[in-house]
Amino acid sequence: MENQNYIMREITPLSERDCFYIADRRKTEFTYPIHCHAEYELNFTEHASGVRRVVGDSTEIIGDYDLVLITGKELEHVWEQHECTSKEIREITIQFSSNLFFKDFINKSQFDSIRRMLERAQCGLSFPMQAIMKVYNWLDKLASEEQGFYAVMNFLRILYELSLYEDAKVLSSSSFAKIETFADSRRVQRVQKYVAEHYQENIRLNTLADMVGMTPVAFSRFFRLRTGKTLSDYIIDIRIGFASRLLVDSVMSIAEICYECGFNNLSNFNRMFKRKKGCAPKEFRENYRKKKLVV
């Protein structure tokens, strides 16, 4: 049973005649509820240390500077006041349509890094401080740029510079964000596709190794090298992501969700979930629903 009516879908002010919409706000607190929208969003916050940022099933307490790109249309996100005491918060929000980069344009080789960044940002991307400092002055001046053409050029410059930081951190799990993400390696892709289709079942290392024609030891090493995760961690992350989505979207019991997502032991599920998400499944569900607005 679906229960999604408590998620707010934002109607943004972006006009079809504009390349992007920008809001530069000075504020003392964050009050907007958790929401999602079809438009892409680049969100910068300054002097907001202690704010809790939620993107999909990722929850983090941010520092004085935070810069996040979100391109997932169904990816819920919110910045909550939490422990922030600053009265001089600045927030710059830039929303733009996926149509800004029409198909043939974004596929040109000069836009390779931007295209890859936009794809990764379907799960939310958090940029390192070095990247924030690189684009800070351009962001600072973007809202006051009176010439629309130059504003667009400067915005593209910001996106390009950010796209060069491959250490930008992916926030939400792909299974929660309902996004299929695959590695460059075809062998790893086969395994990832298999895991996505069979995560509810008992997945054996030998089965996956045979699938790509490798020994279990060689495959384990190869998989970790290509994905940055052990196979067991990868499978657990996929299962936890699907479980998080069911906790938010359904009224299934935690025990039902546990077995639905491939865990065969409730205490093990609770322990794994808390290790990955920092809270128990019940707490995750309650915290998420407190942030929703019925519309």
Average pLDDT over residues 227-252: 92
Token digits of residue 87: 């009265």
pLDDT at 1 over 50: no
Give the closest residue to 69 by CA, choosing from 19, 21, 26, 123: 123
Which tens digits make up the pLDDT trace of 188-223?
Answer: 889 999 999 999 999 999 999 999 999 999 999 999
pLDDT at 122 over 80: yes
Q: Which amino acid is at 63?
A: G
Average pLDDT over residues 249-270: 94
Give the ranges where 35-168 is alpha helix by DSSP (H): 103-106, 112-120, 129-142, 148-163
Residue 178 three-state SS: coil
Give the closest residue to 158 by CA, choosing from 130, 122, 134: 134
How many whole angstroms separate alpha carbon 112 and alpha carbon 101? 12
Name the least confident of 138-142, 176-180, 189-193, 289-293: 289-293
pLDDT at 232 over 90: yes
Confidence band for 183, pLDDT divided at 50, 70 and 90: low
Give the closest residue to 66 by CA, choosing from 33, 89, 37, 43: 43
CATH 1.10.10.60 in the chain: give the residue spans. Answer: 178-290
Average pLDDT over residues 167-171: 94
Which tens digits make up the pLDDT trace of 49-59?
Answer: 999 999 999 99
How many whole angstroms separate alpha carbon 262 and alpha carbon 266? 11
pLDDT of residue 203: 94
pLDDT of residue 2: 42
pLDDT of residue 219: 92
CATH architecture of 8-174: Sandwich (2.60)
How many whole angstroms separate alpha carbon 224 and alpha carbon 170? 17
Q: Report strand pairing: 8-9 vs 35-36.
A: parallel
Which residue's entry shows tokens 């504009």? 18
pLDDT at 161 over 90: yes
pLDDT at 259 over 70: yes
17-21, 141-145, 177-181, 208-212: range with highest mean pLDDT: 208-212
pLDDT of residue 295: 33
Average pLDDT over residues 111-121: 91
pLDDT at 184 over 70: no
CA dihedral for 139, 143, 147, 148, sign (positive or negative): positive
Task: Say which CATH class 178-290 falls into.
Answer: mainly alpha
Residue 94: beta bridge partners? 22, 42
Residue 93 three-state SS: strand
Q: Which amino acid is at 280?
A: A
CA distances from 88 to 44, 45, 48, 127, 151 (A): 14, 11, 8, 22, 26
pLDDT of residue 3: 44
Residue 140 three-state SS: helix
pTM: 0.78
How many whole angstroms separate alpha carbon 191 and alpha carbon 130? 35
Which tens digits make up the pLDDT trace of 93-108?
Answer: 999 988 877 667 777 7
Main-chain dihedrals φ then ψ at residue 61, nearest 5 degrees: -90, 125
Average pLDDT over residues 239-264: 94
Average pLDDT over residues 167-187: 83
Work out the percent of the chain whose per-residue pLDDT is above 90.
61
pLDDT at 22 over 60: yes
CATH 2.60.120.10 in the chain: give the residue spans. Answer: 8-174
pLDDT of residue 108: 76
Find the angle CA(59)-CA(34)-CA(17) to the nearest 5 degrees.
Answer: 120
Which residue's entry shows tokens 């359904």? 250
Confidence band for 18, pLDDT divided at 50, 70 and 90: confident
What 3 state SS string does 40-70 have? EEEEEEECCCCCEEEECCEEEECCCEEEEEE
